[in-house]
Every structure is written in C-alpha cells, then in structure tokens.
Structure 1
Amino acid sequence: MIAAKALKTLEYPKIIEQLKTYTTSSVGKSMIEELTPSTSLEQVQKWTDETDEALSVLRVKGNVPLGGLFDVRPHAKRAQIGGVLSAMELMEIASTIRASKIIRRFMEEVNESEDFPVVNLYDYTESLPVLTELEHEINHCIDENGVVLDSASQTLRSIRSQLRTAVQRIREKLESYTRGQNAAKMLSDSIVTIRNDRYVIPVKSEYRSHYGGIVHDQSSSGQTLFIEPNAVVQLNNDARALRVKEQEEIERILKELTLQVEAIAPDLFHLVKTMAKLDAIFAKAKYGTAEACTRPEINTDGRIRLIKARHPLLSKDEAVANTIEFGDPHTAVVITGPNTGGKTVTLKTVGLCTLMAQSGIPIPALDGSEVALFESVYADIGDEQSIEQSLSTFSSHMVNIVDILKKFDEHSLVLFDELGAGTDPQEGAALAISILDEVHGRGARVMATTHYPELKAYGYNRPGVINASVEFDVETLSPTYKLLLGVPGRSNAFEISKRLGLPGHIISHAESFTGTDRSEVDTMIASLEESRKQAEQDAMETARVLEESEQLKKELAERLAAYDQKKEQLEQKAKDKAKKIVEDARRESESVIAELRQLQKQAAVGVKEHELIDARKRLKDALPSNPVLKKEKQKKQRAQNLQVGDEVKVLSFGQKGVLLEKVSKSEWAVQIGVLKMKLPESDLEFVKPEKEKQMVSVNNVAGRSAGGVKLELDLRGERYEDALIRTEKYLDDAVLANYPRVNIIHGKGTGALRQGIQSLLKKDRRVKSYRFGEAGEGGYGVTVVELK
C-alpha cells in the first residue's frame, strides 16, 4: 500500500478532486474519493482495461447515460428496519432503477454494434439486477416531483374527488360573500384565502359581528380579521376530515411500496455499488479525454518510459512536455540545474504518473509510455519544515529521509528534491552522495535533484546512474523547462552576470578563484550541450523530411489507385455504352427491315413516298455515330476563319453572341446579350445566319425532309400558347418537306389543347383536311392532317 504521506507530498489528492468533477452522482464521487493506488498487478491491469474500454466508448459515442442515479442505500436500509419511506425517497429509488436499465441497454447496444471489446464494462451491466416491476409500481403511484397520484388507489381517487367537491362548495359560498353588495365596504379585499388549513375571508374589524363565525388570524395592524363564517364552518370540517382520510390512504400506499423495497433491498445495494463503479470508471475516462491522456503499459521490471509527459496539475497548454526514461539499465537519475528550472516539476511528474497509473487513471503522456508497478513510493519534496517542532529546513528534510531509509526496498520508487540542501555545501554534497549510494545500492529506483557541483560527475563514476539537467536559455535569462537526460547541468552564474552588465574584470577575477577541474567540467558540459542541440536539430530535420516523403508517397499511391480505378470505370462505362449503342442499332435496324418487308407486301395497295423516306431515315439513324469523327468535325468548325460581326455560339455557356473585335491572337471580344466579355477562340463556334439557313433549307427540301422533320409532332405537356406556335412552325416544315400527311399528338386530357389545334387547322390554308386518328393511330389523342 502506498503511504498517505507520499500521496499528499506528490499532490495526489488534487488529482482525485479533479476526477470527482467528472462524476455524475454522489455515489460516483464517493467511489473516487476512496480510490488509492494499488500494488497488485492484477488489480491495476483490471482498472487499466476498464478505463481503456470506457475511453473507447466515449470516443465513439461521445457520452454515456449515467444520469438519474441516487444513493438509495440508506432508503433500502431504513425499509429493512421497519421505517416508512417518503414519496420523494421512493421516487429516487425508481429513478435509480431506471438509470440502471438505461445504462444496461446502452452497453448492450455498444457490445452488439461496435468492433472494440467492452468485456469488463459489459460484465458490470450484465450483473445489474432487473427491478423494472418495482420501478413501474412506484411510477404508477408517485410522480417525478414526489407527489402521490390519484391513480395510486381507487380509494385515494374517491377521497380526492370528494375533497375537490367540498372545496368547490366552500369557495363558492365564500365567493358569494366577496361579490355581495356590502363586500367593498366590509371586506379588506375581495378574495378567499386560507388560514390554519381552513378557508376564510378578510373582514374589516368593525364588521366582525356581521359575518359571525371563527376568527383564525388578524393583520399586523389589527384592522383586518380573517374570519371563517358560520355558513362554511361545517363545510370546512368536512373538508378537514377528508384530508385526514387522504393522508391515511397516502401513508398506507407508501407503507405498501416500502414493503416492496424491503423485499429487494439486497438487489438495490448491489445495483448502487455497481452503478457507482461505472460512474467512477467513466469519470477516469472523461478526465483522460479532457486532459489528452493515454493508457500506459504496466511492467514489474522497474522500467519507466514517459513519452512527452506533462505535469498532471499544470495546464496542458502551458506545461512543457518531457520524455523521461530510466529503470533499465540506469536505475538512478541525478538532475542538476538552476532554481525554478523545472527539476521539482519533473520529480512530481514521475511520481504522479506512477500513482495515477497504479489507480487506473490515464496519464498525460503519449501512446507507448510505460510505468513500473511499485510496492511503495517515497518522496521528500519541497520545504516541509515544521514550525511547531522548530525544525530547520535541513532537519525537516533529514527526518523524512531517515524515515524513507528505514522503509524502502528494491520494489520502491524514491524521489529526493534538493538532496543535502540547507547545510554546509561540502558536507551536504557528501551526504547526498552517500544517501544516493545507499538507495541505489539496495536496488530501488531513485530520482534526485541537487545544486551541488560535486554530483555532476556522479553519473560518470557509478554504473546504473545517469545525469540529467534542466535547460537554461542564457540569451533570455530564463529556463526552458526541458529535461536533458545524459547531460549534467552547468553553472550559468558568470554568463548571467555578464548579460546583466557586471564588469568583465570582476567576472575574470571571479573565474580565477575556480579550480582547473571545475573549468574543465564546465567546458565538457558546454560541449555536450552543443552536440546535443545539433543532434536534436538533425533528428528533427530528418524526421521532417521523412514525414514529407511518407506523405508524398501516400499521396502518390492514393492518386495512382484513384487513377487506375477511374480508368477501369471509364473503360467499363465505354464498353457498356458501346454495347448499348450497338444493341439499340440492331433492334432499330430489325424493326425498320420488318416494316420495309411489310410495306413490300402492301405494295399492291400503294406505299406513300414519305413512308419510304421515313424508313430510310430511321435506318440511317440506327447506325452508331463515330465520336472521333464528331470531334474532328468540331475541331474543323472551330478552325474556321472568324470575322468581326460573325454570329458565334459560346460553347462553355451554351449562349449565342456576336464578335465585336479580336483582342489578341487567340481571344475575341464577344457581345452576349447585354454582356461584353473576352473569350478564347477555342470556346467559340461559328453559327450561320438565320436567313442563310432558311435559303439552304428551301433549296434543299429533299435533304431537309430526310434530315430532321418527323411525320408527327408531339405536343403533350406543352403550354397552350407554345403548342400553337410549335404547330404553325411544324406545318411550315412539313410543307417544305413535301409531306402529304402528318400526325399531331395532343393527347386526350381536358380537350382544350385538341380544340385549339383543330381551330388553328381549320383556318390554315395549307391544310386540306383533318380528322381524329383511328384506333391504331392514337384515337382522340391524335389529329391526322392532310396537307395540300
């Protein structure tokens, strides 16, 4: 068991206070308050696994439904000894049962739907007793505010119904007084109020005898009396009797529910304890999520490896992260450096992370961190001199150290802050070395901080010991709080004094008093620091280049995979499209051939020329178009010589415009409606003027008839006015195409479009006659037009 003194010294209780803020119930807080580091590997592993599962659930679900949980164990205990629970206490029991039901259902869904295992948490929820029957019974009788409902019993419903009637009669009687002719004169206020659970009216004292009855109260001035008139005395008595009956029935209902609670009291004890554990587990996980903590690996080899660890009680935005490694092969670390440089913070970081890990709490370090399981942790940190005992700083520290030396063993973690401080430097340094030799020699893991220069060479003279220091920036005269393993700290007094303006001859004179050995050690340390900084820069640059290379490789691989996938999709799409075109062409060709054979059979009857023309056109259209030739044709069109005033089509907009001027070799100024803009010539396509098109169409009637005018016009879905315009234009095209007969499809619908079309045909001089289609031609939905 970890000593309470070490927990206090390392500020472990502050971590507990932070954890309590993440609980959702008083029982969860109590469970966290009782949490102390375990020395059992099995227990620590179990706690760590539980917290890790909770972290996974929070990452996926965001939150966990743990609300509505109360500590109902005292209620259950009172029910066991014969007490009667109040309505609110019963309501808390129902709420707690409901909370257990919700979390059990939640964990079942998580266990069924998610890929990560929640074995430990699921075991907890599976062990929760099912007490739904009692929950429903309580909810049937009591509402969420702790009020017994009318539905609790038929007797209670009847009593309350009678009571409401009695109260209504009392109020009606008293309100008749407040509305009377003399009310404004005799009453202080026209209201009905209550005194001593009886309904009264406020009467001016001089008119007391007018109403008679019982005086229940008076105002502070004595001018108003609250009187129960004789006329309602008996009615109030009846209401009072009903209230007594109501209370007796409520007590009977509560007693009956209490007996049901007594029967399942052991289940309630187990339920609350289990829910408290779940609340505590998720509180650890919520803390870990909020503080960017991770799960450490636990070992029994005394090996500590904290990657970018922060002090748990410092803000994660301000704390400097350090990587701390020792335990294998080095079992002792001696940290030197200036005051306020972060030495004590480093000690507490190691100690607190160890205590948190052994409590199943995530630690503020990166993934891959390791923490050793220690049977005991000892710490002598800070100025703990006892004023009451009149002990000096040195004596106070030495009392703690003596106690530690009596208790520690090879399974201990020992932390010394400013070892040997507070006394003569030479004697203090000697004591520090001797104490470190003792602790290190007996196999414990030890970390110590010191100011003594004699300890700078300690790590070089003893196997299993490593020097460390906290970095100090001489340029800014401030610590960086970075821990440097393997490099002892050096004195910065001369450099700092020089930067602060101390004359050079004084500094030189001071340096003459330092020994040669001291100078050589400082030079060696400076060289080590310079080499370390260069190595760190090289490592950072290498890591950056490697990361960029990996990212580039990943991007190229993704692009190549996407390209291959897109290529396959396009190839497949092209194959499918070509297959469909060929299949459509085959079906259309077969259809046309079948029609031609039919026409051949009907040759004796007579075949219209336009029918043969239409069949030939359909056969021609059935041939698949060549997209390559189509593209070449577009390129040829674009390569035409454009001139100012030409009408063009802007391909990117799909709009027509007029060329204004040539801006450059490859750009034109184009007027599109009210807009004037510069566009590349590759985006323009020459359009023949409308007059030229009409001339071409007139001079090439045969070509037009075979090239685009169909034998029927489909107007279904068109607006009335648009349909008439399209009909007139279609008749022009049909006459130019020399069609003797055409079909106009207008649909049946309401008949409005059909009537409009036929009215137009009736007046058109190009129309010889018109009729409705036959049964095989579309019936009343089609008008067949004979042209002149």
Structure 2
Amino acid sequence: MNKKALKTLEYNKIIALLEQCAGSTQGKAYCRELLPVSNLSQIKRMQAETKDALSRIFKRGSVSFSGITDVRPFLKHLEIGSSLTISELLAITSLLEVAKRVKTYGRSENDLSIESDHLAHFFNNLEPLTPVCQEIRHCILSEDSIADDASPGLKNIRRQKNVIGERIRTQMNTMLNNNTTRSYLQDGVITVRGGRYCLPVKAEYKNYVPGMVHDQSSSGSTLFIEPMSVVNLNNSLRELELQEAEEIEKILADLSNLVAEHTEEISQDFMILAELDFIFAKGELARKMNAVEPEFHTDGIIHLRAARHPLLDPKHVVPIDLTLGKDYNLLIVTGPNTGGKTVSLKTCGLLSLMGQAGLHIPTKDRSQLSIFDDVFADIGDEQSIEQSLSTFSSHMTNIVHILREVERSSGHYLCLFDELCAGTDPKEGAALATAILSSLHERGVLTMATTHYSELKMYALSTPGVENACCEFSVETLSPTYHLLIGIPGKSNAFAISKKLGLSDDLIADAKTHVTEDDQNFEDLMVDLEQRRVSMMRDSEEIARQKREMEDLQKKLKEREDRLNASKDKILRQANEDASHILQEAKQIADETIRDFNKYSHSNPDIAKMEAKRAAVGKKLAASRKKASVAAKDNNKPKNHKVPKNLRVGDPVKVLSMNINGTVYSLPNARGDLQVQMGIMRSKVNINDLILLEDNDTAAKTTGKKSRYTGNGGFSKAATISPEINLLGLNGDEAVAKLDKYLDDAYVSHLKSVRVVHGKGTGALRKAVHQYLRKQKIVDEFHLAEFGEGDAGVTIVTFK
C-alpha cells in the first residue's frame, strides 16, 4: 500500500489507537509495523485471530501482558558463557510469570469453541518453566537483595557478619557510654565511613582517641576515627563482605546455568507473548469500536452496512450504508459542503485498509469488503508552497501519479477523489473530471468521487455502471443530516446556505438570474426527487412502525393464549383431582352403605342409627350444594344492575341472590321490601335484589343460561321427570340406589305417584324394592298394580 494513501486516510491514527491497547514494548512495536496486505488467506487468518481474541475477551475479560521484556540479548550472553545480573534474571522471571498467567487464561475449561480457535496453539506452546521461575524467586528478593537461603555458604557468611557486627556495636557503645570518651566526640553516634565503623571525634581531641582516621567533615572540626579496639573486627567484617560477594557471584552463575538450559523455551515464550499481545490489542480495539469481522470477496464488491468512521465520536457519528462494485463501479457523491461527503469517502477507504490489516471494522454484521492490491486517495488541501504548486496543480500531480500506477499493472484498485478537478475553470474542470472518471470506469477500477459539478451528475445519470449519490440535506433546518443516499444526485443548496448565513435576498435573487434555465430545471427535478424520496421514506418508516406494533400485539396475544391454555390445563387438572376425591368419597359412602345394608339384612336393623348416617350424608350434600349455589350467585350476579322502578303486582322479576325467577306479589314498602312469589314459595326480598324481566327470553339473556325454574314458578324438572322407573335387569343393591335418587327427584317435582317396574321373576327384586319403600318417610303407601296395569311386575308408589 502506498504511504500517501495511508496518511491521507488517517490509517496512522488507527495504528496509534491500536498501540495503546498493547501492554508490552514488543507488542506495541508489532502494532506500529502493521500494514494492510492483499493475500486473501493471510487476511482471513488475521481476521480469525482478531475474532477469537475478541471472543475470549467477551467470555473471560482482558488479559495483561505487562511485564514482558525482550530477553533475547540476555540469552546471547549465556551462549558465550557469561553470567546474568540480578536485574536480567528478574526480567526472565517476570517473562515466565507472564507466560504462566497467560497460559492459565488460555486454558479451554471444556469450552470447545475456545479449544479449537486460532489462538489455542499459541497458549499450548507456552512454557512457563515454573521450577526455574521459583528457584530464581527463591534466591533473588529484589534488584539489590539476595535471600540468605540462596545457598548454605551465603547463609553462614551472613550469620558471621551479624555476630561480628554485633561485637563491633557493643564495643563502640561501651566507648560512647564512657563519660571521658563521650566528651571527646562531636556527636554520640556511630557512623560508617568506607565500610568501616567510626566515631565522630572533635579535631582537638584526636590524640585522645587512638585509631585510624578515615574521613573528616567539610569544616575540618570533626574527624571520623576508627578506634583501635575495633580495627581487627572491622577487618574481619570486610573479609566476610568479600566472601559474601564471591558467594553471590556463584549463586548468580548457578542461576544463569539453570536458565541456559532453557534458552530456546524462554525465547519462544517471548515471541509467543509478544504475538498474543499484538493479537489481543486488535481484539481490544474491536471491542472499543464495537467492530465486527467483515466478509471478504475477490469479485470487487464493497457493501458496508451502517458503517461508522472509527475516528469520530461514536455517540454522534451518523452511520452510512454504502455499496460499490455490484451494479456500478463508479459512485459520484454530490451535495453541499460540510455535508459529510469527505467523511463518506474516507470511511470507505479507511475501513478497506483496516480490513486488509486484519482489524475488525465498525459496521453491522455481514458487511463485505473487497481485496485491493492498492488504495489511492486524493483528499484534502494539496497546495505546496515549496514546490510553487497551486491547489489544482498539486491535486493534478497526485491524480497523474494515480493514473500511471493504475495503468502500469493490472490488479484490483480503489480510487478515492475529493472534489475532483476543483480549483480551476468550472467548465474545463468538469470536462477533465469526466475524462478521468471515464478512463477509470472503462478499466473497471472501483472509484468514488465527490464533486459539485452538475456535468458529473448528468454523466452518472446517462452512463451505465455509474451511479449518483448524495449526502442528505434538510431544507427545513438548512443543515446536513450526514446520511448517504445512493441513487439520487445531491444539490449544492448554495442559495439556501448563503441565505441562512445572512446574505441579502436581493443578492440571492440576482444570483438566481445568472443560472441557466436548464440548470434550474435540473435542480428543480433534483428537489422533486428528494421530496419524493423523503415522502417514501416516511411512509416506509410508518409501515415498519405499524408492522412492529402488529408483531408486538401478535406476540402479546400469543402469550395471553399460552397463559389461558396453561390456566385451563391447571383448572382441568384441579377439577379432575376434585372429581377423583368426590368419586372416592362417594365410593367409600357406597361401600359403607352396602356393608351396613348387608349387616342389617341378617339382623334387626337399627333404624335410628341408619337414619343418622343418612342425615349426615344429606347435610354434607346440602353444604356442598350451598357452596356451589353461592358461587353460582356470585358468578351470575350482574354488575351494577338497574334497580326496577314503578313495579306492579304480577310483574315478572328475577331474585339475584337466589338466581330464581318469580312474580311481584306485593308492592315495595318505604324500605324497598316486597313479597315475591317463586313457584310454591313466597319470600320477602329487597327491591335492590331484583331485576325486572319483560319475558322469559329476557331472563335467559340476562344470565346467559336457562333458568332452573319456569316463569310461573313451576319446576322444570316436573316437566322432564318420568312417572315411571324401570329396574329390570338390576340386582337389589343397584335397583335400590337408582330408586332412591328417582324417588327424591319425583318427590321434589311434586308428582303424586309413580310406577316402579321391577318385573315378576323370582320376586327377589320386588322384595328388595318393597323392603326399601317401607323405610322411606316420603312414601305414603305402595301396592302392586291392578290387573292390566302390570300386575305383580309393577308397584304403584304414592307420596305423602
């Protein structure tokens, strides 16, 4: 890639951002050296590494590469037999510790997506050399401190040093505590001069303190004298210090030999860590830019979805959609100044460079880039005072160079021109621009150019493979929106912008008279197209909004349906469980009844006890019916019903609390109480508990169900109950159970008598029926039917 295009498109600023994401010196160096390439396999590998690094960052967070030092020069010293210094050994230890930390970070932990990514082999090839690292850390505490336990000899030497040092301090403290000697001293302290313990003696008393003078103060009034009593001790201490230095040299030599056995692994660790630092810097930059991996093609197509210039504030930058190379290979962008044309141009070029350098690009998913052998750009002010070139001349020099490079060899190129051939006569500039673009278009070079020339707009409209585009401009606010619109030429809006900036209406009106009629008609056509586009866009947005609302409503309805189905299933399960309990209880009662019946059939029955059991079951049944009745009343009671007025005797009404229809028997009193006839029952109710019925159909509509009772107070069951029950084919227990329910229903329905068909047979069924009838209180009398009415096979039962 030519360096001029890299500088023009501000690729170096992207590299500066990338360098900030690296943690090591070598990683930063790799970032500075990163350049776009044109090999597809290499690009895909680099993009895959960036993608995998970004994935690991999202899953596990960032990993630090600080602490990496280029130790390769130190390893060279080992190859020639030299020992390493403390700082060099610590640098190797720091490198190995980083290798251990990074290797731990890179472990898959049963994550197959990480285990098989493009970075796994880097982590797998790291060798932390933990024993070597631990040994160095055990021996070396800091840059200027070796541990006592580094070797037995060093430990012994330092123990002797401590003993002798303590003897020296004891001897000198004795002298300090002597009043005579203390009077000779400038200060009552022990000092060190040249590695030997001394006392600060006043110059005039130097003869009173025998010893060796090692130093004196700047004024000469104080001499630092080593007393003779500690000279031998200081000599011994000095000898031990020399022995300590020799022992430390041996320790460092041993550690250096230990490191020398692993120079290859250490060198490899450094290279891998530097490479990983560089790769993770690309991943971190992608995270900060919210960038994605682009798709690459060799067919010369660029398709950017919601592309953002990476150097602009992401909170304010306006994304653009850009397609180039599919239906057209030349895009001419027009529109007013400061409308975003140059940004669109740079975005296209810079993202292409970033993609070919293995960097993710700030766009939406499925954005596509082509692979170019080179990218050329002529953007910005090219005026050169040193070369005595005007702006036009400088631009033209650059354009000539671009054309020569394109003509020199065949390949895929991307050319970007900002204000092509501006700065000269408009007619001649437009003609030159048209010729240059035509030449590139015929060669199939992907080209994007910005211009104000109307001739280029016409050229794009009339030439196949060439397309117009514009940066949207709001006429209402007289400000750009920075949206790139492909397929529509832009309008310069010079008159509107000048008016907004304060130019008088007279001057603007006069300027319009100098515009040719054809140019004005063309601009008007552009305005009309723009208005139509805006209208269609608004309609599309409204349709999209309504579609989203419908989808949301459909989703809510689906969720409601799911909740109802779940609730229905729950209710059904509960109902089945309740029914199961009821049936189980009924079975238990039936079993107990049969046992009692069998027991009492062979002995004298205890009628009172049997009746008590029957009464208990009846009370339980009545309680259940009452509960169901209350629930039914609550469910059937109309909300905020209309209280009837001007009631007359005989009006049909419904008693809400009882859910029974009846007729008004008396008019309401002052409290609203009145008598209502409900079948054979007459009851006092309050008018607020009534609704007026026009007829039986109205009552049915009010409740949504048919009433259990008829309008005249008769029970509907009386109209449906049969005056005869057939027990043929049943055994005694079955017949009695069926007859018991039938007689209850017949009695409630006010039947006077019924026929029980039991047949003649052996007479066992007849005997069981008669035995049961004798115990029923509601039965007045029973007898066999007359001849011709069933004879001995039928029993006539009369109720009380």
TM-score where L is the length of structure 1: 0.71
Task: Name the residue aligned to 2:49.
Answer: 50
* Structure 2 SS opposite 1:272: helix
Cα 1:510–1:536 shift into 2, 3 Å: same
Q: Is the Cα–Cα contact under 8 Å of residues 474 and 496 in structure 1 kept in the other structure?
A: no
Kindly report which structure 2 residues correspond to 1:313-328, keeping only aligned pairs within 5 A, or say none. Answer: 313-328=311-326
TM-superposed CA distance for 1:61, in Å, is: 1.7
Task: Describe the shift of the 1:251–1:625 C-alpha distance in structure 2 as closer, same or farther (beyond 3 A).
Answer: farther
In the alignment, the residues of structure 1 paired with residue 574 and residue 191 of structure 2 have an alpha-carbon distance, to the nearest angstrom, of: 86
**Over the residues paired in the alignment, what is the CA RMSD in angstroms?**
3.6
**Aligned-partner residue type, residue 535 of structure 2:** Q
Q: Return the offset for 1:70.
A: 2.7
| TM superposition shift of 1:580 | 10
* Partner of residue 493, structure 1: 494
- Judge conservation of contact 1:200–1:228 (CA < 8 Å) in 2: yes
| Equivalent residue for 1:347, pick from 345, 348, 357 | 345
Q: Deviations over 1:421-455 (max 9, x none)?
A: 22222222111111111112111111111222221
2:135 alignment partner AA: E
Q: 2:258 aligns with which of 257, 260, 279?
A: 260
> 1:1-25 CA deviation, whole Å, 9 max, x = no partner?
x122221221111111101111122
Amino acid at match of 2:278: A
Instruction: Report what 2:241 is aligned to.
Output: 243
The within-5 A match list for 1:216-227 is: 216-227=214-225
Q: What's the offset of the Cα at 1:321?
A: 1.6
**Structure 1 match to 2:778:** none
Q: Which ranges of structure 2 fall in alignment gaps of 5 or more residues? A: 592-612, 638-800
Q: Is 2:448 aligned against 1:450? A: no
Matched residue SS, 2:467? strand
Residue in 2 that maps onto 1:479? 480
1:325 Cα deviation (Å)?
Answer: 1.4
Selected match of 1:155 from 153, 156, 169: 153
- Structure 2 length normalisation: TM-score? 0.70
Aligned to 2:5: 6
What is the CA–CA distance in structure 1 between the aligned matches of 2:111 and 2:189, rounded to whole Å? 63
Question: How far 1:131 sits from its partner (Å)?
Answer: 2.3
**How many Å apart are 1:374 and its aligned residue?**
1.0
- Per the TM alignment, residue 585 of structure 1 is displaced from its structure 2 partner at its CA by 14
Out of 554-563 and 57-66, give the one that drifted further.
554-563
SS of residue matched to 1:333: strand
- Once the two structures are TM-superposed, the CA of residue 574 in structure 1 deviates from its matched residue by 8.3
Counterpart for residue 470 of structure 1: 471
In 1, Cα distance between the equivalents of 2:276 and 2:585? 67
Contact 2:139/2:147, CA 8 A, preserved across alignment: yes
Q: Which of these residues, 382, 386, 389, is aligned with residue 380 of structure 2?
A: 382
Question: Quick one: distance in 1 between partners of 2:532 and 2:218?
Answer: 91
For residues 374 and 217 of structure 1, do their structure 2 counterparts lie closer, same or farther at Cα, with a shift above 3 Å needed? same
- Cα drift, residue 533 of structure 1: 1.4
TM-superposed deviation, 1:514:
1.2
- Corresponding position of 2:301: 303
Residue-by-residue CA offset, 1:308-346 (whole Å, 9 max, x unaligned) = 111111121232221111111111111122222222211
CA distance in 2, matches of 1:274, 1:158: 42
Query: Cα distance, 1:89 vs. partner?
Result: 1.7
1:107 corresponds to: 106
Bigger drift between 83-92 and 302-311 goes to 83-92
Equivalence map 1:190-589=2 (5 Å): 190-408=188-406, 409-500=410-501, 502-561=503-562, 564=565
**Does the aligned pair in 2 maintain the 1:77–1:265 contact within 8 Å?**
no
Deviation at 1:132, TM superposition (A): 2.6
Question: 1:273 deviation in Å?
Answer: 1.3
Q: 1:135 aligns with which of 133, 136, 143?
A: 133
What does residue 34 of structure 2 align with? 35
Amino acid at match of 1:361: L
- Using a 3 Å threshold, how does the CA distance of structure 1 residues 560 and 633 change in structure 2: closer, same or farther? closer
Deviation at 1:478, TM superposition (A): 3.3
Q: How far does residue 266 in structure 1 lie from its aligned partner after superposition?
A: 2.2
Q: Where in structure 2 are the equivalents of 1:15-34 lying within 5 Å?
A: 15-34=14-33
Q: Residue 97 of structure 1 aligns with which residue?
A: 96
8 Å Cα contact 1:581-1:624 kept in structure 2: no
How big is each residue's C-alpha offset from its partner over 1:645-698, in whole Å with a ceiling of 9 and x where there is no partner? xxxxxxxxxxxxxxxxxxxxxxxxxxxxxxxxxxxxxxxxxxxxxxxxxxxxxx
Q: 1:506 to 1:23 in 2, by over 3 A?
A: closer
CA drift of 1:157 comes to: 1.5
Amino acid at match of 1:103: V
- Over 3 Å counting, the alpha-carbon distance change for 1:548 and 1:453 in structure 2 is same
* CA apart distance, 1:631: 8.9
Does the 8 Å contact 2:74/2:84 carry over to 1?
A: yes
Q: Is the 8 A contact 2:307 2:347 kept in 1?
A: yes
Q: Which moved more, 1:572-581 or 1:456-465?
A: 572-581
Partner SS for 1:472? strand
Contact persistence 1:91–1:143 (CA under 8 A): no
Q: Is the 8 A contact 1:24 1:67 kept in 2?
A: yes
Distance 1:547 1:625, change over 3 A: farther
* Contact 1:410–1:445 (8 Å) recurs in 2: no
8 Å contact from structure 2 (residues 108, 115) kept in 1: no
Q: Name the SS for the 1:109 alignment partner.
A: coil
Once residues 577 and 72 of structure 2 are traced to their aligned partners in structure 1, the CA distance between those partners, rounded to angstroms, is: 72
Structure 1 residues 93 and 565: alpha-carbon distance in aligned structure 2, compared to 1, 3 A threshold: farther
8 A contact 2:100–2:127 mirrored in 1: no
Q: Distance in 2 between matches of 1:24 and 1:212?
A: 61
Cα 1:164–1:389 change in 2 (3 A) is farther
SS of corresponding position for 1:162: helix
Offset of residue 177 of structure 1: 3.7
Q: Structure 1 unaligned runs (5+)?
A: 591-615, 640-788
* Count of residues in Structure 1 that have an aligned counterpart in Structure 2: 610
Percent identical residues: 43
Largest Rg, 1 or 2: 2
CA contact (8 A) 1:53 1:117 kept: no
Q: Secondary structure at the match of 1:120?
A: coil
Q: Which residue of 2 aligns with 1:60?
A: 59
The residue type paired with residue 78 of structure 1 is H
Could you say which residue in structure 1 is the equivalent of 2:797? none
Deviation at 1:291, TM superposition (A): 1.8
Deviation at 1:525, TM superposition (A): 1.0
Task: Tell me, in whole angstroms, the C-alpha distance in 2 between the residues paired with 1:423 and 1:63.
Answer: 54
Q: Which amino acid aligns with 1:195?
A: R
* Paired residue secondary structure (2:535): helix
Question: 2:23, 2:64 within 8 Å by CA — same for their partners in 1?
Answer: no
**SS of residue matched to 2:310:** coil
**1:564-594 Cα deviation digits (max 9, x unpaired):** 556656766887899899999999xx9xxxx
The residue type paired with residue 412 of structure 1 is Y
Shift in Å, 1:77 = 2.5
Q: Verify the 8 A CA contact 1:410 1:442 in the aligned structure 2.
A: no
Quote the Cα distance in structure 1 between the aligned partners of 2:628 and 2:185: 103
Once residues 131 and 631 of structure 1 are traced to their aligned partners in structure 2, the CA distance between those partners, rounded to angstroms, is 82
1:184-223 per-residue CA deviation (whole Å, 9 max, x = no partner) reads 6444443333332223333333333333323333334444
Contact 1:415 1:446 in 2 (8 A): yes
